[in-house]
Amino acid sequence: MTKARRRVAGATAAAFALSAALVGCSGGAQTTIDVPEQVDQSLPAETIASLEEAVTSAMIGSGSPGAIAGVWAPWSGSWVAGLGTQEVGGGAAVTTDMQFRAGLVTREMTCDALFVAQAEGKLDVDDSVVDYVAGVPDLEDVTLRQLCDSTSGIGSHESTLFEMWLQNPERVWNAQELASFGLGQERATDPGEVYSSSDSGYVLLGMALERATQLSAADYFAQYITQPLDLPATGLGSAFYGDAVLEGHLSRKVDGAYDCVEPVNVTSLSTSSGFTDSGAVTDINDLGRYAQALAAESLMPDDTDRFDDPKPPSPQSPSWHTTIGGAFQAGSLVGQNGAVPGYLTAAFADPDTGLTVAVVLNNSAAGSSFIRNLAWQLAAIASKAPAAADQTTPEAGLPWTAEQYQTDLAKRAICAAPAE
């Protein structure tokens, strides 16, 4: 899936605008995101009603009191909304300017930095990990590219550290300490063979990039990603920094059932627990803009081979669902989805049509597949949006329907609507 193949036929480097809120306005050189220009109007009322109904239903099913969603269909319009409240049963209203955890979208950003650093001559993506990270001699056969693709076979640390994170949420974690818990596990596969999600792998990649670039992870995220793409609400560190933050919750099991009435508030969990695997924070407009930049390969050199050899995420995955370069491909969409304590986040975009969906739910208990399927449901709804005046609805469709994922999400629901 090379950069050239992703270009819209006959497209030019026209000015990009997801919506008025997404247009870059800061000083300095900005990266052009080469996708169809966004119609400056709201999506039709009927489409918005269907989108809102889908998100509201997912909020109930996941036990999330709040959600933020953004959908951009360049030929038809856009919809960006905060729904619900900060706490179960009430609290402040959720608004679209709130910052939240970007979750596994961070992986895509870390891989962006890897390929930009290669373009600058600071490393080769096929270098061994041991060239940049000390104390891991048994990883000589693992490359930086394999860490990005999550085909290294290295284990994960989340299951070991999860309860520690909740018990001491404000602790700032050292990246090497995080990775050590994954490295202590037996390798799942030989390097390069199959996809096997590894949070420790992305942490190791982040450490290698610090060595290669001589920059902190926060600084190379800024230099390589957030500044060129003008993402002021997006960054990597140890805590939120925005004026408004979406509260994050986690329903725990009590007597075999999820407690959907009194979930644990985990907003204060240090984002250092995610580092370059899942530690970035963002807001909905930045997330939408980044999703399009990732899909259009806006930060990549023209000869990039980042997405050339995709693999199925699992043996059961349909042929249209693959993964490579820190991202998933789902039909014509490119993006990521995942769960971190307190937040379910997903963002996908189609580089040819510009269709983009970004969504976050503020209870993470339902898991990453739940938010992925919600994003795909929203994409299916938006893909059918009628064209605005002087516009044409894209011919290409998605290999699933909104009804399919509506049914799936109902089956995955962990909470029921409260009794009236």
Residue 13 has a pLDDT of: 29
Residue 200 has a pLDDT of: 98
Only one residue has tokens 């999330």, namely 64
Q: How far is CA 67 from CA 84, 236, 338, 416, in A?
A: 7, 22, 15, 17
Residue 255 has a pLDDT of: 92
Only one residue has tokens 């930060």, namely 299
Residue 50 corresponds to which amino acid?
A: S
Nearest of 198, 161, 188, 163 to residue 177 by alpha carbon: 161
Q: How far apart are CA 239 and CA 269, in angstroms?
A: 8
Per-residue pLDDT of the chain (420 residues; tens, 9 = 90+): 445 333 333 332 232 333 333 433 334 578 999 999 999 999 999 999 999 999 999 999 999 999 999 999 999 999 999 999 999 998 999 999 999 999 999 999 999 999 999 999 999 999 999 999 999 999 999 999 999 999 999 999 999 999 999 999 999 999 999 999 999 988 878 999 999 999 999 999 999 999 999 999 999 999 999 999 999 999 999 889 888 999 999 999 999 999 999 999 999 999 999 999 999 999 999 999 999 999 999 999 999 999 999 999 999 999 999 999 999 999 999 999 999 999 999 999 999 999 999 999 999 999 999 999 999 999 999 999 999 999 999 987 899 999 999 999 999 999 998 766
Residue count (the chain) = 420
Residue 3 has a pLDDT of: 52
**Residue 106: how many other CB atoms lie within 10 Å:** 31
398 phi, psi to nearest 5 deg: -105, 150
**Residue 5: how many other CB atoms lie within 10 Å:** 10
Edge to edge, the sheet with strand 343-349 lists 90-93, 77-87, 66-73, 356-361, 343-349, 333-340, 327-330, 321-324
Terminal-residue alpha carbon distance, the chain: 51
Question: Both tokens of residue 398?
Answer: 């998605």
Question: Both tokens of residue 369?
Answer: 């597949």
Residue 321 corresponds to which amino acid?
A: H
Residue 203: alpha-carbon gap to chain centroid: 16
For residue 337, give the 3-state DSSP assignment.
strand
